[in-house]
Each structure stands twice: as C-alpha cells, then as structure tokens.
Chains A and B, each alone.
Chain A
Amino acid sequence: MRKPLVQPYPKDWFLRTRAYRLFMLRELTSVCIAGYLVFMLWWLYQLGKGDTESFRSLLSIAKHPVSIGLHTIALIAAAWHSITWFNLTPLVMPMRIGEDRVPNVVIAIAMGYGPWLAVSGFILWATLR
C-alpha cells in the first residue's frame, strides 16, 4: 500500500542559501525605491511652491545627515536594481543572428549599461551646466 510522505517546506527558505538571499535582496530593492518615490513626490511638491523659503527648507533637509544616509541607501538599492535588471535582460530577450546566439554581455551593454550611462550622463549635464 502506498503512503507517500509529504515533507514540510521551510517557511524561511529565502534565508537558507546564498542564491535565495541574493534573490530576496534584489526583490527588496523595490521597498527602498518605493520609499524614494514618496520622497520624490514631496520634493516636487515643495519645489512647486516656488518661493525661496520652501526651497531653503528643501535644501536644509537635503543637507541633513539623515537625508544623506537615506539617499545613500536608496542609491545603493537603485543601482543594485539596475545591475540585476540589466544582467537579466538577455535572459528575457535573447537575440540570435542565424544559428548563433548574441553573447549575453553584448545584449546587457546594448540594452542596459549603455543607455544607463547615456541617460545618467545627460541628466547630470542638464542639472550641472
């Protein structure tokens, strides 16, 4: 007579292996990015008031160590999102030329890292010029 045994799966599986932890780290970048988006809304709202006083308060908050700390965390999380996203692009959108697959590095650079560099450079130039 058959009596199959069903084994329980660990509820904390995402802490169990390095690969699972890296996966969860990648997914959790979204929490930091969501937090920054909320800040961005407030930032635009404050800028939209237009008067110098509102802008001064915006600046003084931006210079506060807490802001610097949170921005640093958000920047690391966002950059980690970018890197993992671009590295997975060839998986989602592979390309072939005839029988040969275009190397993953080429796709990641052409569709990810290249545009990333261009966009970042352009925005920095537009704000600093």
Chain B
Amino acid sequence: MSHLTKTNEAFWWSLFSAGGVMAALFLPVMIFVTGFVLPFMMGEDVESQRDRMVSLVTFWPVRIALFGIIFLSSFHCAHRIRHVLMDFGLRWAGVALMICCYGAAAAGAVAAGLILVRL
C-alpha cells in the first residue's frame, strides 16, 4: 500500500443507505398508487378523485414524508448510478462524475421541495 486518498465517501454512502431504505419501503406502493390505483381503482367521478388525492398529498406530514422520500431516494440512485458508471469504465471521470450524479440528485431534491411547498 503506497498511498491513501482521503475521501468523504462516508457522507455519500450514508445518504445512499438512508435513500435505499426509503426507496425499498415506500416506492413500490407509491408506484402502485400512481400507476394502478389512481387510474383504475378509484371510481369514475373525476372531481371526487381529485379532491381525495389533493387532500391526501397536501396534508403536511405527507408533504414532509414525500420530500424525505424523494430527496433521499434521489441520492440513493445518484450514488448507485455513479458506481455503475465507474464499473462500466468511467472511473477516470472521477470528480466530474460525482458532480453530474449528485448535482442531478440535488436539483431533484430542490425541485421536490419547491413543488411540495407550493402544493
């Protein structure tokens, strides 16, 4: 072992892990709701469907939970995609790869925050 490189990978890994838990617990059922429950299992009355969805999502604890889920899951995906790209031979891209992946995740988190506050 000739040299050691200091790294803040621990920080990214902690976001990756927390996001992995969030995605594992919440995303399958959320995909089921937006993809199958809403269009096919909530009756024909569009007005009442909309009211129920809006009242559910605008409930403040739900907004905060949705923000946590989207924020952490984004960083989970960013970290994994970065490592997949490294495995595909882009290890040389180093910091640029980090900026692209985590930057996209941060942009997604900011967008989620703005959308959820203005709901």
Contacts and interface: CB of A to CB of B under 8 A. Distances in A.
Direct contact of A and B (CB under 8 A): yes
Interface of A: 11, 14, 24, 27-28, 30-31, 33-34, 36-41, 43-45, 47-48, 50, 52, 55-56, 59, 62-63, 67-68, 70-72, 74-75, 78-79, 81-82, 85-86, 112, 115-116, 119-120, 123-124, 126-128
Interface of B: 20-21, 23-42, 46-47, 49-50, 52-54, 56-57, 66, 70, 73-74, 76-78, 80-81, 83-84, 87, 89, 108, 111-112, 115-116, 118-119
Interface of B is mostly: helix
A115 B41 CA distance: 24
A85 to B, nearest CB: 4
A44 B35 contact: no
A115 B25 contact: yes
A119 B34 contact: no
A128 B42 contact: yes
Contacts of B83: 27
A79 B50 CA distance: 27
Contacts of A68: 35-36
B101 to A, nearest CB: 10
Residue among B23, B66, B112 having the largest count of chain A Cβ atoms under 10 Å: B23
20 contacts: A11-B89, A24-B84, A27-B80, A28-B84, A30-B76, A34-B74, A37-B73, A40-B30, A44-B116, A48-B115, A59-B39, A71-B31, A74-B31, A82-B28, A115-B25, A120-B32, A123-B26, A123-B30, A124-B37, A126-B56
